Amino acid sequence: MVVPPQALVTVPGPGGCGDYATNIALQLARPAGQSPQRVAEVLRPYLLGAAGVSDVVVTGPGFLNISLRAAQGSVALVSEILRSQSQSQSQSRSQSRSGVRFGYVERPTGQVVQLHAPHEVRAVVVMDVVARVLRSQGALVRTSCVARPEREWTEVLGVEVDAYGTPDAPAPLEVNVRPVPAAPADPVALGRDAGRWALLHPAAHDRPRVTSEYLSQREGNPLFRVRYAHARTRALSRNAADLGFDAHPGVVQDVRALEIALADHPRILAATATQHAPDRLARHLIAVADAVTPFLPTVLPRGEEKPSAAHRARLALAEAAGTVLAGGLSLLGIDAPDHL
């Protein structure tokens, strides 16, 4: 029987339950000559015997839904996110590019994708981000545009296109990235970060509102909320270092919404890649930012209070949220400043 090189584990979909779900039984069923439900039932007792697992339920055509003991689930999630950050920092010493890699697929999948866009600024920016996310999911991607992108699109908005013009191919390439155009508005005037966000945050079928509101530093600006939440997590790490303690994953009470948002990040990246929809990632980052912001004032000791294991656990959760925000913004081609 051929064993898949990796098992996809995500948050449960509709009809699922528990903390995580995997379709590994469906992947194994055909090589094993068994039904997915039968394979799932065979795998279930092995998963039940794993440390930290409280229950495993088989749903649908053979999905395995895994429930973790509350402490184990939270600690494992935060540890995984922070480990991806450490691995990325290690890789940056030898690579010109790196990013926080939680939710990335570490090995090539063999999928080859050709993205082809019209000569229109929003289409080219969307194509750039879709290519970034597809590559994060292990795909080999080539991008092209029907004509040379404008210099401002590359120099100001930071888009990268592999080829342009009429390719030497047996048949013309089909335009397969075609969001509603931004015209007549010009996102270049907003600069790279706000310009890209204005084009990426709306769904592809919605006309973007390219206005100066994305430059404002106030709560009504979703880009500001995301970048501000990230900057605050970085400030907490600096302040904790000044107080003489660092992050250590542990149990944190009453943060279930934040944990769910963080655990959902790999699924969102996969859906963004499959659906060619960077707006899904943008909306997810808003959800993470809005979930972590009320939690941040509880992280550091107050007054004469001494740093404790609870503070280290809360700091680890805040740093994990910052890691997800920084990684998502990086895939959108938007800066995640440490100071804002």
pLDDT at position 282 is 98
Assigned fold of 9-68: Gyrase A; domain 2 (3.30.1360)
Ramachandran angles phi, psi of 164, nearest 5°: -150, 165
Domain ranges (residues) in the chain: 9-68, 112-211
DSSP conformation letters of 296-320: GGGSS--TTPPP-HHHHHHHHHHHH
pLDDT at position 93 is 41
For residues 227 and 335, give the distance between their C-alpha atoms in angstroms, rounded to a whole number. Answer: 8
Report which of 112, 197, 193 is spatially closest to residue 158, judged by C-alpha positions: 193
For residues 224 and 217, give the distance between their C-alpha atoms in angstroms, rounded to a whole number. Answer: 6
Report which of 108, 191, 125 is spatially closest to residue 161, judged by C-alpha positions: 125
Mean pLDDT, the chain, rounded, equals 90
Alpha helices in the chain (DSSP H): 24-32, 36-48, 70-91, 121-136, 151-155, 191-200, 222-243, 256-263, 265-275, 278-292, 309-331
What is the DSSP code (8-state) at residue 51? T
pLDDT at position 148 is 95
For residues 271 and 130, give the distance between their C-alpha atoms in angstroms, rounded to a whole number. Answer: 11
What is the tens place of the pLDDT at every residue in 107-148? 899 999 999 999 999 999 999 999 999 999 999 999 999 999
